[in-house]
């Protein structure tokens, strides 16, 4: 008897038969369906960590006693069961408590397993009194080092009263695995039609088992509707289900002729009366097996559910049905998708003894890291995750580092008002390996408004100075006296909200690079009396001074100002006059002055350069193989060397002499950190693609094989879109539009390749391409973007992929709003806007709008536009719904209606009459949270529902209901949303993990 066949990639395996009472086949998949309508198993998630493994026992035939409750890993909750099978001649098993079941019903058991080596399988043990009927299962080789599901389905033999789940590692397998979320549940009888239809399916005339077509096994169900007015129907056995339970059903359909088949979920009360009928029509290709699915939530009063298949009464049809499933959807965690190990900033110092030279590296991630090395050898001495107590809040980025005069290291970080102080211990040798002991890492919390600490610099007597945003404040920190805000709690210059860079000259002279503004501004500030002067460099269109370095050189002291756009300026520290303008410096600032020469050093590309302060001469010193992130000078055998940490993972050792030497033979390795997920999309080959926050990188998940791939580079994609084999990425900052050819090797230099940069001229300079839409009929790419910091004029660009040319760009297409969502229907592009522009820009619009761009005819300026949802600030998503209309999400309160503060609207536009009069609004449909650009997302499911991720929740919307009824599926933590070809949903939780909702 064939029970259930899962997705077509998986191999069906015939189980061993331990009893003549049971003839069964069972199937396993790393992506198996959920366990039907589940039955409660005591301690199924191993959260009860009492003596032994509470509610789980060994088996007299199959067990070593080497399984424990562990907090090392968990699929959900805090604990799992760790199984360590160290023997290749003995097995290991654990058996759940028995639960009551019904004879001759079919049951599916599943576990989530994280397997580090070997393999584990799930078995069923049916009980008739003391008699056991064991259904074993030997699965395919599992995917290692990720949570996957392993399942088995079997029919309870006649006389069965109870069942238990056994998790098993075989005689010959050496295994280390973690088990979590064990489940067992009932499913429909004869799901593969391998048995007689009698007592399993209720069918009409024209419905019978057949061998003509089958998706698996020997038989399928044939529905033969020869009369267009008489439907051919089949209804499954009923399964007990309770009010509020989400249920999904799927069947594979092979249409031989005609059309009109649909699949239904029939929810019945205790009297057997249908109280809800949820349906979805089959739309697959003739003479090909295609799945059709339906899902719904059991209404009040539900006692059971069954699957109903019908050919309809308007057309004749012959179709074959196989591999039916009835599931309770399950959410499971696919884990982190993107890893990076960037070298963001490096500085050099000494250990506590003063005998060992240290190199400190700040590496952004989630959490970010501080990594400590021996500066001369590259040996790793310490590796610290940057977390903020008491909640272990993860730091997202390291922006600035400096070593104070007392050897303390300070780190300026992103978003959490936190500066860290690291006091190095002493380097010694233990078992032949260098280690540093006695170090401490202490977070220092700044006041509100000093959220991002962009830069820190060392002053005198152990003090440090720092620049922050979002209130444009600078501070002095003294470890003996605490933090002092230098500018009395107000921005030093009105409107300049970022102190992006800072450099110490003396206790009475500190330089600050301010922004955002149309022209970079430098303030010379006296911390002792609060006086200041302004230095305004020539206007290169720079909004920030990204880096400031003060180089003490007597009367010829200089300030090196690295602009966000344009050159690095060398300024006379006394007059502010420009001594030199240096182009293309891409290192993190410049080195301190050489101890015996007037030179400073920096890199351009992979080349090391020197700049002579006295003569203003610049010299290319040669290829060093990477860009520098930090510098020091060290003495070796009486010679002075420039040491630099290179982003290539090398330590540069350069000797300035008559015959200079360059040495980059010493390497260091930065440990990888998890990267937050910024965007999510179903892409080429139906894979699921994720892009990383800040650091970029890409994760690729294959729904058929559960295979994951990880790539570094390409930048932070605010959104992505797909056409053919290409994935198009909208990269922040600078609104770089890139193309990733998924049929070619990823290399981050030519693939993804740059197509164009979306508008780089002030005041229309763009940064964030949230609106990304590839449309195949004209082979065009449409891009909507948010302007750069300080600007509120978004843009809309049309790019021809056939000619590789920008067709047009409309700047400020909706006055002073950003373009963040796009959809296409009937030769029109619909664009949704946000009233919010770039960071620190003025908000002077009140309501988000939809504009309509005609792709085939002429467009007037301004283009037609309207407010689809009055009182809302952000149109966070637009899609083509299952009814062919434009569905949209509207968030944010601009009306003063207090209900709008925590809710979002659904609206539907008639694409043939796109205006406010032909738009239907369903107000306050969903929960919401504050949003500026990246808000809710929607997808149309294979089952005809619309699924919505908004306000940290996941919803299902019944598209056929008059009020577009919505039910919450996942109640917290959800962002982003896409779907695979099977209709299963993918979203992000905890900011770094990709989750799947298996419908």
User: What is the per-residue pLDDT across 284-307, written as a single tens digit (0 to 9) for each?
Assistant: 889 999 999 999 999 999 999 999
pLDDT digits (tens, 9 = 90+) for 610-620: 999 999 999 99
Task: Tell me: pLDDT of 257 over 50.
Answer: yes
Q: Length of the chain, please?
A: 999
This prediction has a pTM of 0.84
Q: Give 629's contacts (C-beta < 8 A, 6+ positions apart).
A: 343, 344, 345, 346, 361, 587, 588, 644, 645, 646, 647
Q: Which residue has the tokens 């430098």?
A: 522
Percent of the chain scoring above 70 in pLDDT: 95
153 vs 890 pLDDT, higher one? 890
**Terminal Cα-to-Cα distance of the chain (whole angstroms):** 25
CA dihedral 803, 806, 807, 812 (to 10 degrees): 170
Answer yes or no: is 370 within a domain: no
From CA 878, how far away is CA 893, in angstroms rounded?
Answer: 19
Domain identity same for 912 and 992: yes
Residue 291, both tokens = 């799945």
Domain identity same for 129 and 238: no
Domain identity same for 39 and 16: yes
- pLDDT value, residue 618: 97
Answer yes or no: is 962 within a domain: yes
Peptide bond into 482 cis (omega under 30): no
Beta strands, E only, 507-595: 509-515, 521-525, 532-535, 545-551, 558-563, 568-572, 578-582
Peptide bond into 752 cis (omega under 30): yes
pLDDT digits (tens, 9 = 90+) for 853-867: 999 988 888 899 999
Is residue 164 helix, strand or coil?
Answer: strand
* Residue from 119, 71, 73, 62 nearest 95 by CA: 62
Domain identity same for 768 and 880: yes
- pLDDT value, residue 762: 72
Q: Which of 134, 155, 187 is the last residue of a domain?
A: 187
769 close to 783: Cβ distance less than 8 angstroms: yes
Left (φ > 0), alpha (ψ -120 to 50) or beta: where does 492 sit?
alpha
User: Among 186-200, 408-422, 807-821, which stretch is predicted with the lowest mean pLDDT?
Assistant: 186-200
Domain identity same for 134 and 253: no
Domain identity same for 181 and 240: no
Domain identity same for 122 and 245: no
From CA 109, how far away is CA 151, in angstroms rounded?
Answer: 6
From CA 537, how far away is CA 839, in angstroms rounded?
Answer: 23
Buried b (16+ CB within 10 A) or exposed e, 957-989: bbbeeeebebebbbeeebbbbbbbebbbbbbbb
Residue 393 is inside which H or E element, if any? strand 393-394
Task: Tell me: pLDDT of 26 over 60.
Answer: no
- pLDDT value, residue 195: 86
* Residue from 241, 155, 245 nearest 200 by CA: 155
- pLDDT value, residue 140: 62
From CA 991, how far away is CA 989, in angstroms rounded?
Answer: 5
Domain identity same for 75 and 147: yes
From CA 652, how far away is CA 375, in angstroms rounded?
Answer: 10
Give me the mean pLDDT over the 222-240 stretch. Answer: 88
- pLDDT value, residue 12: 27
Task: Tell me: pLDDT of 891 over 90.
Answer: yes
Q: Which of 328, 354, 375 is the last residue of a domain?
A: 328
Answer yes or no: is 516 within a domain: no
From CA 100, how far away is CA 127, in angstroms rounded?
Answer: 9
Q: Which residue has the tokens 């002077």?
A: 844
244 vs 641 pLDDT, higher one? 641
Report how many domains make up the chain. Answer: 3
Sign of CA dihedral 44, 49, 50, 52: positive
Give the domain CATH number at 78.
2.60.120.260
Instruction: Count the Cβ atoms, other than its own, within 10 Å of residue 104.
Output: 13
Give me the mean pLDDT over the 662-677 stretch. Answer: 96
Task: Tell me: pLDDT of 585 over 90.
Answer: yes
Q: Give 587's contacts (C-beta < 8 A, 6+ positions apart).
A: 602, 603, 604, 627, 628, 629
From CA 757, how far away is CA 740, in angstroms rounded?
Answer: 15
Residue 924, both tokens = 């306050």
Half-sphere exposure of 678 (CA within 13 A, CB side): 26
From CA 470, how far away is CA 995, in angstroms rounded?
Answer: 33
Give me the mean pLDDT over the 589-603 stretch. Answer: 97
Answer yes or no: is 692 within a domain: yes
Give me the mean pLDDT over the 321-350 stretch. Answer: 90
Is residue 686 helix, strand or coil?
Answer: helix
Give the domain CATH number at 942.
2.130.10.10
pLDDT digits (tens, 9 = 90+) for 312-329: 877 889 999 999 988 777
Backbone angles phi, psi at 324, to 5 degrees: -80, 140
Give me the mean pLDDT over the 966-977 stretch. Answer: 95
Residue 28's pLDDT band (boundaries 50, 70, 90)?
very low
Q: Which residues pair with 343 in a beta bridge?
A: none
422 vs 36 pLDDT, higher one? 422
Domain identity same for 165 and 245: no
Half-sphere exposure of 266 (CA within 13 A, CB side): 17
Left (φ > 0), alpha (ψ -120 to 50) or beta: where does 189 sit?
beta
Answer yes or no: is 763 within a domain: yes
Degrees to nearest 5, angle at CA 289 with 683 and 986: 30
Q: Give 155's contacts (C-beta < 8 A, 6+ positions apart).
A: 1, 3, 22, 24, 104, 105, 106, 107, 189
Q: Which residues pair with 810 in a beta bridge?
A: 796
pLDDT digits (tens, 9 = 90+) for 519-540: 889 999 999 988 889 998 888 8
Answer yes or no: is 752 within a domain: yes
Give me the mean pLDDT over the 372-377 stretch. Answer: 98
Residue 45, both tokens = 């998630």
From CA 147, how far away is CA 332, in angstroms rounded?
Answer: 8
891 close to 874: Cβ distance less than 8 angstroms: yes
Give me the mean pLDDT over the 925-947 stretch. Answer: 95
Peptide bond into 733 cis (omega under 30): yes
Residue 813's pLDDT band (boundaries 50, 70, 90)?
very high
Give me the mean pLDDT over the 165-185 stretch. Answer: 90
pLDDT digits (tens, 9 = 90+) for 688-699: 999 999 999 999
886 vs 137 pLDDT, higher one? 886
Domain identity same for 158 and 214: no
pLDDT digits (tens, 9 = 90+) for 730-750: 999 999 999 999 999 999 889
Residue 454 is inside which H or E element, if any? strand 452-458
From CA 364, how far away is CA 370, in angstroms rounded?
Answer: 9
Q: Domain residues for 153?
A: 12-187
Answer yes or no: is 868 within a domain: yes
Residue 27, both tokens = 């199937």
915 close to 934: Cβ distance less than 8 angstroms: no
Give me the mean pLDDT over the 120-137 stretch. Answer: 90
810 vs 195 pLDDT, higher one? 810
Backbone angles phi, psi at 155, to 5 degrees: -95, 135
Residue 464, both tokens = 């440090």
Domain identity same for 115 and 216: no
Q: Which of 135, 158, 187 is the last residue of a domain?
A: 187
389 close to 443: Cβ distance less than 8 angstroms: yes
Domain identity same for 136 and 229: no
* Residue from 806, 820, 793, 800 nearest 679 by CA: 820
Backbone angles phi, psi at 918, to 5 degrees: -110, 30
- Highest-confidence segment of 145-149, 172-176, 780-784: 780-784
Q: Which residue has the tokens 């650091």?
A: 695
CA dihedral 264, 265, 269, 272 (to 10 degrees): 50
From CA 348, how far away is CA 372, in angstroms rounded?
Answer: 10
Q: Which residue has the tokens 């003396």?
A: 506
674 close to 365: Cβ distance less than 8 angstroms: yes
Residue 37's pLDDT band (boundaries 50, 70, 90)?
low
Task: Tell me: pLDDT of 179 over 80.
Answer: yes
Q: Which residue has the tokens 């085939």?
A: 856
* Residue from 290, 313, 321 nearest 223 by CA: 321
- pLDDT value, residue 871: 97
Task: Tell me: pLDDT of 27 over 70.
Answer: no
* Residue from 960, 896, 951 nearest 925 by CA: 951
Answer yes or no: is 389 within a domain: no
Give me the mean pLDDT over the 212-228 stretch. Answer: 89
């Amino acid at each position: 008897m064939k029970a259930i066949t899962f997705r077509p990639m998986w191999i069906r395996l015939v189980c061993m038969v331990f009893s003549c009472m049971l003839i069964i086949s069972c199937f396993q998949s790393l992506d198996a369906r959920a366990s039907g309508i589940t039955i409660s198993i005591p301690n199924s998630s191993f959260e009860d960590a009492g003596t032994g493994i509470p509610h789980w026992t060994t088996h007299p035939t199959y067990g070593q006693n080497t399984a424990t409750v562990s907090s090392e890993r968990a699929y959900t909750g805090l604990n799992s069961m760790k199984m360590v099978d160290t023997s290749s001649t003995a097995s290991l098993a654990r058996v759940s408590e028995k639960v009551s079941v019904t004879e001759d019903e079919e049951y599916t058991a599943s576990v989530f397993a994280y397997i580090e080596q070997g393999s584990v399988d799930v078995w069923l043990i049916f009980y008739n009194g003391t008699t056991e009927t064991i259904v074993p299962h030997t699965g395919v080789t599992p995917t290692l080092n990720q949570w996957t599901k392993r399942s088995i389905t079997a029919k309870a033999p006649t006389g069965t009263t109870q069942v238990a789940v056994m998790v098993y590692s075989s005689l010959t397998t050496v295994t280390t695995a973690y088990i979590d979320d064990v489940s067992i549940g009932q499913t429909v009888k004869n799901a593969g039609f391998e048995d007689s239809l009698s007592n399993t399916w209720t069918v009409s005339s024209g419905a019978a088992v057949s061998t003509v077509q089958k998706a698996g096994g020997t038989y399928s169900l044939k529905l033969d509707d020869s009369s267009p007015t008489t439907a051919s129907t089949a209804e499954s056995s009923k399964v007990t289900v309770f009010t509020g339970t989400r249920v999904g059903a799927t069947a594979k359909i092979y249409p031989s002729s005609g059309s009109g088949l649909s699949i239904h979920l029939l929810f019945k009360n205790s009297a057997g009366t249908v109280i809800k009928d949820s349906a979805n029509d089959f739309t697959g290709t003739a003479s090909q097996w295609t799945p059709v699915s339906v899902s719904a939530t059991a209404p009040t009063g539900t006692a059971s559910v069954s699957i109903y298949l019908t050919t309809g009464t308007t057309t004749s049809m012959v179709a074959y049905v196989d591999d039916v499933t009835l599931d309770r959807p399950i959410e499971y965690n696919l884990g982190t998708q993107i890893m990076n190990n960037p070298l963001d900033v490096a500085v050099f110092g000494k250990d506590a003894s003063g005998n060992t030279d240290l190199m400190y590296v700040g590496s952004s991630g989630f959490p970010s890291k501080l990594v400590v090395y021996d500066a001369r050898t590259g040996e790793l001495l310490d590796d610290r995750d940057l977390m903020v107590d008491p909640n272990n809040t993860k730091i997202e980025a390291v922006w600035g580092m400096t070593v104070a005069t007392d050897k303390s290291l300070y780190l300026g970080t992103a978003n959490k008002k936190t500066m860290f102080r690291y006091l190095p211990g002493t380097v010694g040798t233990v078992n032949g390996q260098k280690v540093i002991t006695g170090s401490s890492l202490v977070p220092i919390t700044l006041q509100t408004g000093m959220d991002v600490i962009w830069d820190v610099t060392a002053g005198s007597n152990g003090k440090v100075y720092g620049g922050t945003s979002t209130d444009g404040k600078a501070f002095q920190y003294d470890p003996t006296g605490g933090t002092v805000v230098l500018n009395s709690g107000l921005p030093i210059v009105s409107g300049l909200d970022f102190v992006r860079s800072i450099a110490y000259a003396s206790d009475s002279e500190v330089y600050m690079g301010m922004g955002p503004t149309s022209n970079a501004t430098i303030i010379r500030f006296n911390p002792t009396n609060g006086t200041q002067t302004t230095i305004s460099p020539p206007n290169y269109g720079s909004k920030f001074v990204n880096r400031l370095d003060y180089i003490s050189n007597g009367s010829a002291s200089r300030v090196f100002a690295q602009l966000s756009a344009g050159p690095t300026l060398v300024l006379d520290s006394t007059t502010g006059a420009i001594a030199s303008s240096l182009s293309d410096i891409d290192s993190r600032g410049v080195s301190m002055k050489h101890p015996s020469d007037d030179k400073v050093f920096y890199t351009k590309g992979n080349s090391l350069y020197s700049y002579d302060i006295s003569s203003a001469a610049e010299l290319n010193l040669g290829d060093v193989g990477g860009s520098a992130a930090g510098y020091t000078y060290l003495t070796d055998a009486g010679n002075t060397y420039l040491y630099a940490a290179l982003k290539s993972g090398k330590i540069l050792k350069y000797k300035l002499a008559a015959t200079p030497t360059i040495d980059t033979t010493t390497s260091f390795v930065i440990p990888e950190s998890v990267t937050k997920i910024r965007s999510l999309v179903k892409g080429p080959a139906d894979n699921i693609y994720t892009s990383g926050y800040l650091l970029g990188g890409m994760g690729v998940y294959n729904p058929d094989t559960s295979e994951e791939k990880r790539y570094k580079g390409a930048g932070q994609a605010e959104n992505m879109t797909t056409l053919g084999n290409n994935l198009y990425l909208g990269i922040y900052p600078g609104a770089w539009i890139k193309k990733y050819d998924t049929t070619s090797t990823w290399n981050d230099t030519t693939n993804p390749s740059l197509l164009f940069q979306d508008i780089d001229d002030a005041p229309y300079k763009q940064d964030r391409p949230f609106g990304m839409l590839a449309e195949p009929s004209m082979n065009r790419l449409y891009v909507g973007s948010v302007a750069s910091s300080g600007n509120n004029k978004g843009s809309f660009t049309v790019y021809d992929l056939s000619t590789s040319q920008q067709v047009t760009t409309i700047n400020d297409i909706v006055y002073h709003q950003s373009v963040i969502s796009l959809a296409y229907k009937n030769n029109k592009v619909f664009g949704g806007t946000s009233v919010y522009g770039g960071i620190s820009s003025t908000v002077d619009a009140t309501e988000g709008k939809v504009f309509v761009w005609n792709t085939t005819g002429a467009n007037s300026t301004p283009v037609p536009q309207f407010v689809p949802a009055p009182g809302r600030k952000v149109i966070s998503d637009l899609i083509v719904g299952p009814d062919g209309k434009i569905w949209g999400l509207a968030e944010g309160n601009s009306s003063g209606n207090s209900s709008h503060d925590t809710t979002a609207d659904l609206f539907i536009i008639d694409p043939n009459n796109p205006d406010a009069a032909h738009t239907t609004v369903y107000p306050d449909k969903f929960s919401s949270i504050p949003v500026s650009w990246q808000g809710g997302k929607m997808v149309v499911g294979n089952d005809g529902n619309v699924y919505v991720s908004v306000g940290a929740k996941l919803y299902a919307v019944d598209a056929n209901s008059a009020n577009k009824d919505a039910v919450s599926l996942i109640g917290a933590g959800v962002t982003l949303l896409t779907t695979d070809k099977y209709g299963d949903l993918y979203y992000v939780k905890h900011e770094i993990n990709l989750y799947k909702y298996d419908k």
